[in-house]
Amino acid sequence: MFRNQYDTDVTTWSPAGRLFQVEYAMEAVKQGSACVGLRSATHAVLAAANKSNNELSSHQRKVFRVADHAGVALAGLTADGRVLSRFLRNECINHSFVYDAPLPVSRLALRLADKAQVCTQRSWKRPYGVGLLVAGLDESGAHLYYNCPSGNYFEYQAFAIGSRSQAAKTYLERRFEKFNDYTPDQLIRDALSAIKETLQGEKLTSSNCTIAIVGRKEDGTVDPFSMIDATRIQEIIDSMEAADEAPPADAPAMQEDAGDAPPAAAAEPPAGDAPAPMDI
């Protein structure tokens, strides 16, 4: 039997127990431009690569603020992402109006997951073809969640989604154990480095990436979710490139030590190994 007999609607299961439309939505996430999220104990950072489908068009916006304490980055169908970000914004506003307190990030991710899961059990609906990284700050600290089109959601210390995200995941896996003690600037630098891994040789500039941060200041007040200015991003990128091009600190000392060492005496071959004279 052909696969297309089981992908006409989302409630039709294949003999292998698969929902193909959900898998198609998850594939759309893999084809979208890369997004990266990472968090420390007090801050969370979202980064996205800006990609345009055509040289004559602008890129689609990939990072959205949903409240003072939370925001999202998305990979996949941007139109679906805008709908879901507006839904999250309304949820935050309603909760704040009723309870006079910000909506906890875990409940925000749960409500988003419930909305996505409903689209996998109604034949007249289709799954949202977008994956979202939800970053925010509440009373328990900074949080980062990944919401899948299937309705699953997971909390991460650091994660990457979208096209060529595996390179960014590999970079983050090597460094995530130190993230909890990072300063905001260190988080931003690692987010830019992870995005750079997904560009595959393309030069990283402030025009092809977006960075947003939310966290808690040293005095305990909340630093609202905000986009980082392009000028500051370019300054950070320039300082990263300068640090990569600078020689190691111990390189001159090693060269001086090598220059002070006496020249090695030329080794003379043993007499028994001397070549025999040629007969002319």
CATH number of residue 64's parent domain: 3.60.20.10
Residue 266 lies in a domain: no
Residue 265 lies in a domain: no
Determine how many CB atoms are found less than 10 A away from the CB of residue 27.
12
Note the pLDDT of residue 104: 96
Q: Give the up-direction half-sphere exposure of residue 141: CA atoms within 13 A in the CB hemisphere.
A: 10
How does the average pLDDT of the chain come out, rounded?
A: 87
Query: Does position 253 have pLDDT exceeding 70, yes or no?
Result: no
Note the pLDDT of residue 250: 58
Residue 16 lies in a domain: no
pLDDT band at 60 (very low <50, low <70, confident <90, very high): confident
Residue 188 lies in a domain: yes
Enter the tokens of residue 79: 């139109």
How many domains would you assign to the chain?
A: 1
The SS3 assignment for 267 reads coil
Query: Does position 26 have pLDDT exceeding 70, yes or no?
Result: yes
Least confident range of 20-24, 107-111, 115-119, 252-256: 252-256
Note the pLDDT of residue 252: 54
Backbone phi, psi, residue 143, to 5°: -140, 155
Least confident range of 3-12, 35-44, 125-134: 3-12
Note the pLDDT of residue 257: 53
Strands (E), the chain: 35-39, 43-49, 63-67, 70-76, 130-138, 141-147, 153-155, 158-161, 209-216, 222-227
Note the pLDDT of residue 280: 36
Query: Does position 263 have pLDDT exceeding 80, yes or no?
Result: no
Residue 221 lies in a domain: yes
Note the pLDDT of residue 9: 86
Note the pLDDT of residue 277: 44
Residue range of the domain that includes 149: 33-245
Query: Does position 265 have pLDDT exceeding 50, yes or no?
Result: no
Residue 40 lies in a domain: yes
Note the pLDDT of residue 217: 86
Burial class (CB in 10 A: 0-12, 13-18, 19+), 243: exposed
Higher pLDDT, 165 or 269: 165
Note the pLDDT of residue 58: 83
